[in-house]
A and B are shown apart, each in its own frame.
Chain A
């Protein structure tokens, strides 16, 4: 799950992580009021779940999702040109995202830009801190070209981030004197936030030193452990479903695991690994997968029905591949579910079904006798080749 920048700042406030003063605005008038309260130079930032906002362009032609303003009136004007408009960045895709709120904050006089992140290190099964003197840029390229400018520091989960470690990080970042004390507090509080909120990642980029000698977390990216959301009601309340793919939201309501992709061959599979492998084999056979869809171990009739509806809601889909290994599930029950769903929905595009496992012969018989124009695949490769051929034929 992702959150907005302004929500990240709310979390910072709760954990006393120093950041620039500011607030969220849902209307241009709100933006003006927040700006007036702050005084001085102001920054207005469009709030969407995507990076590259500063360099993005609105569909109405207005350039940039981040603007500096000198007066509250100017902040109002800028906010008015952003709100309700669609912002396209390199991360949103060509459809862009509608901006429903802006963050209005004090403009910060930046003297240094640093990088600080906490994430889970799979290799050690423990949190790791990553810090760099090169902030405000893409950390991946820093890691590639100047690895010596990156510090990686493992944290013992039983102890947490120790004070001496915060001093090591501060020293590496060139933060001395009062800044070292500020850094110790900021890093410690951020680690507490990371653990207590069940984050999978907290990335501060940039962490800045201001002209006034303050250390501030200027922009943040959070990742949360979906498995832990059940015990994080405050974080869950920050979920913005309008930022998510509506098909994914619908799928989650039926305990289906769906991710939309750009291709035109939809797939419906039981098991995450097999679902990924099915996407791969569609491409191997010369096609392009339209989605990842794992119906789970059970795959009830209701789930299969919902899955078909979600798949067919994607206008790009020109064919469907169903790939089920019914280990314990009765293949005939699955076959019946597929036939009923296809009939009820009135399927008009090619459907290839590959069934294997428990009671498979009865399942194949149900499919064959359904009267539906569905095609049976003998194995995964055969099924993938058949659906690719059918889609090409129809095109």
Chain B
């Protein structure tokens, strides 16, 4: 097994006709992912790439195709509405790729999602990949914008706030012959749907995942919380990397969540929490896989 999605999971794409959404929907199709529907209001009845039916609403798309997961590419002003449309349609999982959603909108979304069965990943995230068994991991479930071919089917779970750092970790694993169960990008915004801790718990319960790479960055305390939990409950070896040791306080480093303020959320504090929890901390982003392999295989 994997976590959250399998190669059989049926995906719908909200914002499938925009240039960004269309490009990545096509790449997912090419990767062998079951993209079964698109949603663009006003374009219902058309086909995407000659095969994928487009609907006006998520509700219609779910009823017609049985999709259980949605990926959102709609622009920031409309993204909160799109997320809640997916929640209202009873989806298992909504993955919001959109970057630049106002924080107040996300506060409202989180409030509105309380008690719903839907899990949200993101926003401002690269999405997730459960690699397939074909060549270059073809036939997997690719949701979002990650390059599919860098993956390999295997037993390492990867969770990260950052896209390109995730790709680095995945590529380091793959080139050393180690595959991944699922790779999850939780996103760089201060208010998001799924935390490092949520994903760690899932990896811990997943029989296919044997070891974990956790990538964090400055800002907030989510990495510390995940480390504290792992110290008590995680049965699997974890390697971590924290970006932003050289970032000056008070400056937002690209991601809206990556900011050190009032002495909180520093890289040093996070690294100390990780070490205290028995997590192997990679000194540089070049050694994430190596650090895990030493910790795991000895």
| Total residues of chain A contacting the partner, CB 8 A | 54
The residue among B108, B165, B256, B257 with the most chain A CB atoms within 10 A of its own CB is B165
- Determine the distance from Cα of A46 to Cα of B102 in the docked complex, in whole angstroms: 32
* Chain B 227-246 near chain A by CB (<8 Å), digits 1 or 0: 00000000000000101111
Interface residue stretch chosen among B61-69, B85-93, B142-150: B142-150
**Contacts A122-B257, A276-B218; is A200 near B103 (CB within 8 Å)?**
yes
* Chain A 211-233 near chain B by CB (<8 Å), digits 1 or 0: 00000000000000111101100
Q: A276, B77: Cβ atoms under 8 Å?
A: no
In the complex, which residue of chain A has the Cβ closest to the Cβ of B191? A125
- Cβ contacts under 8 Å, B5 to chain A: none
- Cβ contacts under 8 Å, B44 to chain A: none
- Determine the distance from Cα of A63 to Cα of B7 in the docked complex, in whole angstroms: 69
- Cβ contacts under 8 Å, B217 to chain A: 273, 276
- Determine the distance from Cα of A227 to Cα of B191 in the docked complex, in whole angstroms: 13
Q: B102, A227: Cβ atoms under 8 Å?
A: yes
* Chain A 315-339 near chain B by CB (<8 Å), digits 1 or 0: 0000000000101100000000000
Q: B285, A327: Cβ atoms under 8 Å?
A: no
Interface residue stretch chosen among B9-17, B48-56, B156-164, B204-212: B156-164
- Determine the distance from Cα of A271 to Cα of B149 in the docked complex, in whole angstroms: 19
**Contacts A140-B263, A357-B147; is A273 near B102 (CB within 8 Å)?**
no
Q: B164, A225: Cβ atoms under 8 Å?
A: no
Q: B171, A277: Cβ atoms under 8 Å?
A: no
Cross-chain pair count, CB within 8 angstroms? 165
Q: A325, B103: Cβ atoms under 8 Å?
A: no
In the complex, which residue of chain B has the Cβ closest to the Cβ of A199? B104
- Determine the distance from Cα of A289 to Cα of B243 in the docked complex, in whole angstroms: 14
Q: A228, B102: Cβ atoms under 8 Å?
A: yes
Q: Is the interface of B mostly helix, strand, loop or mixed?
A: loop
The answer to whether B35 has its CB under 8 Å from any CB of chain A is no
- Determine the distance from Cα of A278 to Cα of B162 in the docked complex, in whole angstroms: 13
- Determine the distance from Cα of A200 to Cα of B107 in the docked complex, in whole angstroms: 12
- Determine the distance from Cα of A281 to Cα of B161 in the docked complex, in whole angstroms: 18
**Contacts A277-B165, A277-B243, A379-B286; is A226 near B150 (CB within 8 Å)?**
no
- Determine the distance from Cα of A382 to Cα of B218 in the docked complex, in whole angstroms: 24
**Contacts A280-B245, A284-B284, A356-B171; is A226 near B256 (CB within 8 Å)?**
yes
A225 contacts which of B102, B160, B218, B255 (Cβ < 8 Å)?
A: B102
Q: B104, A228: Cβ atoms under 8 Å?
A: yes
- Determine the distance from Cα of A231 to Cα of B106 in the docked complex, in whole angstroms: 15
Q: A327, B167: Cβ atoms under 8 Å?
A: yes
Chain A residues 343 to 395 lying within 8 A of chain B, measured CB to CB, are 356-358, 379-382, 384
Kindly list the 8 A-B residue pairs having the minimum CB-CB distance in the complex, ordered from nearest: A273-B162, A272-B254, A271-B164, A327-B147, A228-B102, A274-B164, A381-B286, A277-B285
A-B contact pairs, 29 of them (CB 8 A): A122-B221, A122-B257, A123-B221, A140-B263, A157-B107, A225-B103, A225-B104, A227-B102, A227-B103, A257-B254, A259-B251, A271-B163, A271-B165, A272-B162, A275-B254, A276-B162, A276-B246, A276-B253, A277-B285, A280-B245, A280-B246, A284-B284, A325-B167, A325-B168, A327-B146, A327-B167, A328-B27, A328-B147, A384-B284
> What 4 new A-B contacts, CB under 8 Å, besides A157-B108, A276-B246?
A231-B77, A282-B246, A284-B283, A325-B171
